Amino acid sequence: MSTSPVTLMVARRVADGRYQDLMDWLREGEQLATDFKGYLGSGVLAPPPGDNEFQIIFRFADEQTMHAWEHSASRTAWLARGSDLFAHPKEHRVSGIEGWFGAAGVRPPRWKQAVAIWLAFFPVSLLFNFVLEPLLGELSLLPRVLVSTLCLTPLMVYFFIPLSTKVLAGWLSGDSARRVAVKASAQNH
């Protein structure tokens, strides 16, 4: 079993006219997950314009805690309640940072992933250090870095890096979408 955080990504296409019902159902699922040991967070990435596929992300401390949530009676009942809201769900498990950038085979190149993370991290870190310099400036290096990473890591993981990948989605998916299209075209010939 994994001892590092595990992320479950689920793609759901909303049924016609059921958008608000799906949003309510997703909020209910996030609320249910908060009751489970090892729950680290979750989120919903809205589809790009012209699409109706939502990406739903659940993150747990390790494989064991995710397994307990996945096989719980409350999750089973929640999935049953939402079964008519979507069609053809796809899910996959990822560990670490890969989960922010989609499924294997369609992820952007690592250099683009690094740029997206840096574009999120640099301004937030700069602002954090500028604003808190009067408080942190008196600390020695180790406590200063400890405080800044304790504050910035959750902000980056749950808000700024997902925001960066959403804002940069077109640029991030450009090369990978082209590779998938070329691969599919080659398989058809």
Cα 115 versus chain centre, distance: 17
For residue range 83-133, what is the model confidence (pLDDT) as tens digits?
888 766 555 555 555 556 655 556 788 788 888 888 888 998 899 888 988
CATH topology of domain 6-101: Alpha-Beta Plaits (3.30.70)
Q: In the structure, what pLDDT confidence band is assigned to residue 179 with cuts at 50, 70 and 90?
A: very low
CA distance 165 to 132: 27
Distance CA 119, CA 91 (A): 28
Assess contact for 7 and 93: CB atoms under 8 A: yes
Pairing status of strand 86-95 against strand 39-45: unpaired
Q: How many residues in total does the chain contain?
A: 189
Range list for CATH 3.30.70.100 in the chain: 6-101
Do 63 and 6 meet the contact criterion of CB atoms below 8 Å apart? yes
